[in-house]
Each structure stands twice: as structure tokens, then as C-alpha cells.
Structure 1
Amino acid sequence: MKLAHWVFLLTTLGVGGAGLYLYLSFPFLEVPTPFGPWPLHYLLPGAYALGLVVGGLYALALGWGAFAERRALLKEVRRLQGELEALRRERIEEVPRIPDREEA
């Protein structure tokens, strides 16, 4: 997990550095969009942030599905434990072995 955190940190710093480099080196570059021209140095960090948001939503949906699956499995375990207890109550108990008597 530490490796994932370091990769995330380095990637974020790299994207921020690239955006800063584009801002300082080429502040005049613009990309035409339907909303008017946008500076190029906004697009790289913006795309990275959009990817983080989509990835976060995907992780939330995956976690929600995992909790629902866990709840269903626990419900099944409780049902099976109830069946097992019912079978134990129905079972005829064995004759207990008396320790001071010999086996016949």
C-alpha cells in the first residue's frame, strides 16, 4: 500500500509540475472548445482531476457492491447456522461413556 501511495504522490506531483511548466513556458497556447478557448495548462491537471473523480466513484460503487455481497453472505451463514442448530436438536444423543467402566 505504501508503494501505491508513493506512486500516487509522484504522479500527482508530475502532473502538477507539467501543468506549471506549460503555464510558464507556453502561456499563450489555447485549445478551442465549445465553451471558448481554454489555456493548455488547464487541460492536463483538469483531465487528471476528472480521472481521479471517476476512479473515486468507481471505487465507491465497488465498495458498495462488496458490502451488499457481504451482507447477503452473512444472511446465508445465519440461515445455515439455524438449520444446523435445528438438526442438532433433532439428533438423538449418544450414550455417554462412563470412564470407570470397561468397554463391552
Structure 2
Amino acid sequence: MKLAGWIFLLVSLGVGGAGLYLYLAFPFLALPTPWGLWPLYLVLPGAYALGLSVGGLYALALGLGGVLGRRALLREIRRLQGELSALKRERIEEIPRIPDREEA
């Protein structure tokens, strides 16, 4: 997990540095969009942030699915344990008593 944190930090710094470089060296570069011209130094970090937020939402959805799946499995285990204890109560086997031993 530490490695993933360092990689995330380095990539984020790289994207920020690339945006700053584009701002300082090529402020005139722009991309045409339906909403007008957008400067490239804003589009690059914006696209990175958009991808990061979509990835975060995907991770949250995946985690939520795991929690719900675990809850369903635990519910099934409790149900099966209840069935097993009911079967044990129905079928009580007598333990033979040995006459020369004391009861525990």
C-alpha cells in the first residue's frame, strides 16, 4: 500500500508539473470545445482529476458490493447454523453410562 501511495504522489506531482510547464511555456495552446477554447494547461489536470474521481467511485462501488456480499454470506451461515442446531435437538443420542465410572 505504501508503494501505491508513492506512485500516486509521483503521478500527481508529474501531472501538476506538466500543467505548470504548459502554463509557463505554452500558455497559448488551447483545445476547441463546444463551450469555447479551453487552455491545455487546465485540460490536462482536469482530465486527471476526472479520471481519479471516476476511479474512486468505482472503488467505492466495489467495496460496497463486497460488504453487501459478506453480509449475505454471514446471514446464510447463521441460517445454516440454526438448521444444524435444530437437527441436533431433534436427534439426541444417548451417551451410554458405564457403571463403574463416576459421572463428570
State the TM-score, normalized to the length of structure 2: 0.89
Report the counterpart of residue 76 of structure 1 in structure 2: 76
After TM superposition, the structure 1 = structure 2 runs for residues 7-46 of structure 1, keeping only pairs within 5 Å, are 7-46=7-46
Report the counterpart of residue 95 of structure 1 in structure 2: 95
Q: CA RMSD in A?
A: 1.6
In structure 2, distance between residues paired with 1:30 and 1:72 = 51
Report the counterpart of residue 62 of structure 2 in structure 1: 62
Give the 3-state SS of the residue equivalent to 1:37 in structure 2: strand
**How far 1:15 sits from its partner (Å)?**
0.4
In structure 1, distance between residues paired with 2:50 and 2:97 = 71
Long gaps (5+) in structure 1 = none
Report the counterpart of residue 51 of structure 1 in structure 2: 51
One-letter amino acid of the structure 2 residue matched with residue 49 of structure 1: A
Give the 3-state SS of the residue equivalent to 2:33 in structure 1: coil
State the TM-score, normalized to the length of structure 1: 0.89
Superposed CA offset, 1:60-102 (max 9, x none): 111111111111101100100101110111122232554955x
Q: Taking structure 1 as reference, are residues 94 and 40 closer, same or farther at Cα in structure 2, changes over 3 Å only?
A: same
Q: Taking structure 1 as reference, are residues 81 and 24 closer, same or farther at Cα in structure 2, changes over 3 Å only?
A: same
